Amino acid sequence: MQKVPSLHENSRTFYSSRSVWLILPNPLKAFPCLPQTTMSTEETTADSTVPQLPIDMFDAIASHLDRPADLLSLAITCKALAQVVLTRHIQYRDVALVQLDAKDEMIWNNLLAHPDRTANVRRLELNLRGCCPGLDGRTFIPSFTQLITLMRRLTYLKVYEPPDSTNIIVHSWELCWKILQSHNSLVTLEITIGRMMMSSQVLGFLQLRNLENVYLEYVSHSRHTGRHDRQTMDKMHELFTAFLIPNHSLVHISLLFPHMSLNIKSLLRDGTFPKLQGLRWSFRITSESAKYIHTFMERHPTIEILHWGVTSRVDAASLVSNTLPMLRGLSGKSNTVSAFLEDRSEAPRPLQSISNIIIDSKFWYSVRPGLDAERILRLEVEQFGCVGDIYRFAKEFPNLVWLRVDLSDMIWDDATQSLRTMKNAEWGHVLVHFPRLRVIRGIDFLEDPELPNENAERLLLLSNLMPNLQFLDHWSSSRHVVRIVRTDGSEDIRWEVTDAYYAEKIGMKQP
């Protein structure tokens, strides 16, 4: 298995995922778990029943699997399926044309040369700049509409719209959306928006009956930060609403428009999504829209994950009892998080993750009685009221696996009647109450790399206190964490620096 600069027609199999090219000269030899030698009579009898099935049936089975990992699992079941999957289906399951470099061009040219492989595409990430002619008059992604027509099983589309989008791009995408509507296969649509009006023109007439997930994010650019006039903004709101409301099958909706004011009155008043499970909103909301927030929440008791980054405060007193009874994850501004948690339900919500919570006397009185503390796996604490709240918190939430605390401010100590900071030794006494803890963020346990021996001693001590601990903060960067690596049968541990993304991924996993 090796990385190669170009494709060869005599290659048996080739697989593309996020612009990574792998050549498998012999697919059957690439999997040592497949039988390569003479099998026993029992093994031959068990395996020979599968190859007798028609090849079309194998194709039908493989065509219903979207993820490359699932296809590989299918391929290792027997030689016959491996031959079909690795030579006919796994190519181009995931295609990314984002960087618009030589690798991306090679992918697209190969699709143009072999249009039959286009039907394999399930996930497509695309930079719209490639659809527009460059300064040399050449289009990086030619014949795009032609190949989209062949992507009849495309389920995931992620689009990056440049800030300097032109009418040429909008026109080409209007044609593409019409083609996608005829396919009716798209399940997830993710758009990073560069110019609001261009995207809203395209989305305004789009209706996809099987669409389940919509993620729209506006990224402001220095050259395009000027405010739109009121008439333009009203038109954009109308088009976005016209796109979202008819899609009743939506399961996740994410609208991230930071620093922009949106009038979504029609969406809050009329939008009904019976299957809605995830809602992630971040924008400024007009006073005209704010009064419909509570009724929208009441109509959607199925919501399980809620991120409320909207500037409008949610008043707990105006929420009807038992609002969002299935809520598992809650994040947003601290006052909004507290408002949702203060709403008492007949039974505690199945909350497992809470972000930006303030733990003080009000929390113990208004919020804690409505929480099932043993269910909570992940907490991000914005502020503690006093040192006593920290020690009480440690005893109340025994099953935490992920914890972030904000130590930017000093904390009040009732014993000394003064403000002070928590020492690392004190945090050690607190964290020993969390035997399942895997991730700690916000506490500076480690020093700079000039003191490697001292860091090793601290990691060993923490590892003994919390045997499941895997990640804690890096000493100089919030984008990196230190990962503890244990060796079976040895008391020694080693550590390595890795991206904080991996610490985020295990935040909701059970210990």
pLDDT per residue over 424-433, tens digit each? 888 888 888 8
Cβ pair 357, 338 in contact under 8 A:
yes
Instruction: Give the C-alpha distances (Å, rounded to integers) separating 96 from 123, 158, 182, 216, 344.
Output: 8, 9, 23, 18, 46
40 pLDDT higher than 80 = no
Q: What is the pLDDT, as a whole number, of residue 223?
A: 45
**CA–centroid distance for 316 within its chain:** 29
- DSSP E strand boundaries for 61-168: 94-97, 123-127, 156-160
Nearest to 333 by CA among 324, 325, 341: 341
278: which DSSP letter?
Answer: E
Predicted confidence at residue 206, as pLDDT, reads: 63
pLDDT digits 0-9 by tens, 51-60: 577 888 888 8
Tokens at 328, concatenated: 């598992």
Instruction: Measure Cα distances from 507 to 6, 27, 302, 510 in Å.
Output: 40, 37, 22, 9
Q: Which of 237, 196, 195, 191 is nearest to 214 (CA)?
A: 191
Provide CB contacts within 8 A for 75, sequence distance 6+. 27, 31, 81, 82, 85, 86, 90
Average pLDDT, the chain: 75
CA distance 508 to 366: 25
Helices (H), ranges, 245-303: 265-270, 287-290, 293-299
Q: Which of 107, 128, 116 is nearest to 89 (CA)?
A: 116
Asked whether the predicted pLDDT for residue 147 surpasses 80, the reply is: no
Question: Given this model, what pLDDT does residue 334 score?
Answer: 84
Mean of pLDDT values over 345-351: 79
What is the DSSP-derived secondary structure letter of residue 363? I
**How far is the C-alpha of 326 from the C-alpha of 301, rounded, in Å?**
7
pLDDT of amino acid 36: 43
User: Considering only 110-119, 124-133, 146-155, which range has the smallest mean pLDDT?
Assistant: 124-133
Residue among 91, 100, 87 nearest 68 (CA):
91
Per-residue confidence (pLDDT) for residue 14, from 0 to 100: 34
pLDDT tens track for 374-417 = 899 999 999 898 888 998 998 899 899 999 998 777 888 888 88
Q: Which two tokens stand for residue 353?
A: 């993750």
